Amino acid sequence: MLNITIHNMSKFLFDIAGEDDDASLREILKETPMNGTMRVSLLRDPSIFHSIGVLGRFNQVIIAKEKERGSIAGFGIRTVREAFVNGEVQQIGYLSSLRIRQQFRGLSLLARGYNYLKKLHEDQKTDIYLTTIVDGNTLALRNLVGGRAGIPRYREIGKYLIFALDITKRFKGDQHKEMEINRGSRENIHEIIQFVNESNAARQFAPYYRSEEIILKSPLYRDLQVEDFYFVRSKGSIKGVLAKWDQSAFKQIVVSKYKRPVYLLRPIINTLSHLARYPSLPKEGQEIRSFYAGFIAVKDNSPAIFSALLRQMCKDNRGNGYTYVLVGLHSQDRLAEALKGCSCIRYDSRLYAVYWEDGKTFFDSLDDRPPYLELSTL
């Protein structure tokens, strides 16, 4: 752990969280749901430190503590991981889970927190960071993207779309029965991951994977099994890959609260949704049972191959207690065409590159490959 602690004349102290802070961090996640018509809490039980292993090889949970009482006012996570940049494997940062308790907002914590982050950034582990901000989060947009003093540069690089597909409803359209869909095993996982890495090299920010770490059950791939991989083979070679990754043992999505009109109309909405093949709205306090569709890699970005893989995955897991499968794609990714006509809820966010002056050359060097972020590791 890098030993940097910042004291200032304010009532807060900035530091790196330890295991003793775990309960407080998880309590903050419950207190700070994502705003919207349906407020959703992204929880990390039973341990936030257990859960962040999948984010990357290097993670720091940055906290702001009250000096007097020692209570945590807010936190954010800094991650550095391997990803493809302009076709080459490089270290790239990711900023996530920024949370500030309601009573501490507006106290200039952000600027001071980013000053601390800048100190950590001096370890030179990466040149820039990526982050996403959900559409409608006007507070984050105003405070982070507006070029306020003490905040690094935020450069938008398109929209990032999250699709929550209702697994209980069957897909419409062609079933692609002619495609040979296989499952992963210890014998073929190396070939599968090689194909994924080759595909990811053609995309910006896509992860670099090591098959041996999946077999050895590295914390990077917690609860991911080789049998969870699906792939299409044609004429002896792999043409597409998809993996089911159930992270519910360490990451949960819980409905916190609805805005009052939606809460009152939820029974009617659910009745109409059933008739229109749209997902039903869960109860307040209910966990949304879901898994991620990850490791998305398809030759020539064929929506037909992606659709066949996704269809088979949903078919195999229908009736297993899941409600949704979560898919994340950049707005430039033509694979999103495969999701047209599906029963799903779509969440839009914006992808940003975040950097200080030392990262400008890196950002300016990025070519026009379409971005890809692995939703299961955000």
User: 355 φ, ψ to 5°?
Assistant: -160, 160
Torsion of CA 43, 5, 109, 42, to 10 degrees: -10
- Alpha carbon distance 80, 57 (integer Å): 7
| Burial of 121 per CB tally in 10 Å (0-12, 13-18, 19+) | buried
From first to last of the 378 residues of the chain, give the pLDDT tens digit. Answer: 344 544 444 789 999 999 999 999 999 999 998 876 778 899 999 999 999 999 999 999 999 999 989 999 999 999 999 999 999 999 999 999 999 998 888 657 888 999 999 999 999 999 999 999 988 777 777 778 877 777 999 999 999 999 999 898 777 655 566 788 999 999 999 999 999 999 999 999 999 999 999 999 999 999 999 999 999 999 999 999 999 999 999 999 999 888 777 666 677 867 777 666 666 777 888 898 999 999 999 999 999 999 999 999 999 999 899 999 999 999 999 999 999 878 888 889 999 999 999 999 999 999 999 999 999 999
Of residues 103, 41, 117, the one with CA closest to residue 74: 103
- Alpha carbon distance 182, 226 (integer Å): 12
Of residues 12, 19, 15, the one with CA closest to residue 3: 15
- Alpha carbon distance 107, 110 (integer Å): 8
Which tokens hold the place of 204? 């910006």
| Contact predicate 78/95, CB 8 Å | yes
- Alpha carbon distance 175, 146 (integer Å): 47
- Alpha carbon distance 45, 51 (integer Å): 8
Q: Quote the pLDDT of residue 3.
A: 46
Of residues 60, 53, 47, 134, the one with CA closest to residue 95: 60
| Contact predicate 117/79, CB 8 Å | no
Q: Quote the pLDDT of residue 2.
A: 45
Separation in Å, CA 37 to CA 51, 242, 256, 263: 27, 31, 11, 9
Provide the residue ranges of all domains of the chain, joining segments of one domain with +.
Answer: 6-160+350-377, 165-251+280-348
Which tokens hold the place of 161? 């779309």
Is-above-0.95 flag for pTM? Answer: no
Pairing of strands 229-234, 180-183: antiparallel
Which tokens hold the place of 343? 């029963």
Residue type at 177 in one-letter notation: K
Domain 6-160+350-377 and domain 165-251+280-348 have a common topology: yes
CB atoms within 10 A of CB 76: 21
Under the phi-then-psi rule, with left for phi > 0, alpha for psi from -120 to 50, and beta for the rest, what region is 176? left
Q: Quote the pLDDT of residue 106.
A: 67
Q: 165-251+280-348 in CATH: which number? A: 3.40.630.30
Under the phi-then-psi rule, with left for phi > 0, alpha for psi from -120 to 50, and beta for the rest, what region is 277? left
DSSP code string of 252-263? EEEEEEE-HHHH
- Alpha carbon distance 339, 337 (integer Å): 5
- Alpha carbon distance 327, 148 (integer Å): 33
- Alpha carbon distance 42, 37 (integer Å): 16
Which CATH code, of 3.40.630.30, 1.10.630.10, 3.90.230.10, 3.20.20.70, is assigned to 6-160+350-377? 3.40.630.30
Of residues 313, 298, 266, the one with CA closest to residue 165: 313
- Alpha carbon distance 351, 375 (integer Å): 12
Which tokens hold the place of 152? 């690094």
- The secondary element (H helix, E strand) that includes residue 92 is strand 88-100
| Contact predicate 226/214, CB 8 Å | yes
